[in-house]
Structure 1
Amino acid sequence: MTDICIALNKQTSQKQLKVFIYCDYQNAKLNLEQAKLLLVFAKSKGRLIGKNIYYNSQCKNQAAGKNNLDSVGYTCFDVPCPLKNSADNQLIADCLEDIHSNLSPDIVILISGDGDFVKLVHNLQKLGKQVIIFAQVGNVKQKLKELADKFYFIDKLSELVENNTQFKTTSLDAKINYNEAIECLTKAITTTLSQGKRTEFCYIATLTN
């Protein structure tokens, strides 16, 4: 298969990756604009299957701030407990449960700089999951930052989303010509038939060799 076909194949596979957002609101208080940008960023990585925010309503600043976030589609979990790490523990428990479910995400986006999540990140990576971490400047443990597959500061979200949009635009502009398209399609159909499969697009698009 030509390089063009392989590139198209990789793009198709990328779209199939399942992405889940987990936000520790006590540690990283997203504002409404950041929350919206995070959704755009997550969807650029694959299919967004969940977006959870964990907060403690016993802390007034957390209860008030999360109201704007559920208005843009986040699922907000209140963990009203005097224990310091109650929301963190609930996030960890839910993440591990989701990982072992039928909709196990391929990419976990964790919004927190709390060192309590080091073990969770390590366990996720052992299971083959990619972990992307966002944290606030001046509020992140170095060990967590080093462990992440990719790490960003929350205030860079706007720049990340803009760069991703520019990349997509460039990719769309780089069109293949007619002959290249025919060559790619012919090779894909030939490979499909040699494997005894039908030649509908749903089969062709998933070829990897």
Structure 2
Amino acid sequence: MEIPVLYEDNHLLVLDKPAGLATMGLPEGHPTLLTWAKEYIRQRYHKPGNVYLGVVSRLDVPVSGVVLLARTSKAASRLSEQFRRHLCRKRYWAILGGVPKTPEGELRHWIVHDKRFRRVHIEHAPTPLGREARLRYRTLAVEGRRALVEIELITGRKHQIRAQFAAIGHPIVGDLKYGSRESFPVGIALHGRWLTVVHPTKKEEQTFVAAPPKSWDAFRHLWRGAIEESP
């Protein structure tokens, strides 16, 4: 398995995670992005023994895109603090079933976790068990009954993007768990497109960008123009 390396230095390793691969957390012997990354570092730098990598950001199994790993504990601590303080900026692309009524806006809901079914439920008003979930979106392209949207997270809840768009009647294409009735070649049509952080030692802002994967090729006509207009 080959995974694109988007950026690498003594402090960071930024990868373009393929859909269908867990970021981490599976039993030993099962492939994850983290196990691949550790083997990559071990071979590239001829490191014997255990390799340290801290997972700073992660993506759901069916989601592709930018994932940030820290190569030192100090970098992991500094980057994790940025995420806790909402200083990082994450933007995603998603192909929706249907077109949002307004081309851009903010979604605000309350998320309740259902551990039994490994999913979340959306509430439209505060509840004792609910956690606030907010995101901004703008529509980049529309064709027929599908829309390409760019999403910026304000909060970072589990399954947030997937559940919130399903709640407004526009599930992500291929996301059967949250109501899509359409198939998608691999995973779902949700991609971690951009991630912006302050480098833990250089103290400079850096943005990492991942192009849509091959599984998106069938929808190239929908996102090609958005790629050309990207900064």
Both structures adopt the same fold (TM-score exceeding 0.5)? no
Structure with the larger RCO, 1 or 2 (CA within 8 Å, 6+ apart): 1
Give the number of the structure whose residues are more often helix, by fraction. Answer: 1
In our comparison, the structure showing a higher alpha carbon Rg is: 1
Give the number of the structure whose residues are more often strand, by fraction. Answer: 2
Q: TM-score, normalised by structure 1?
A: 0.24
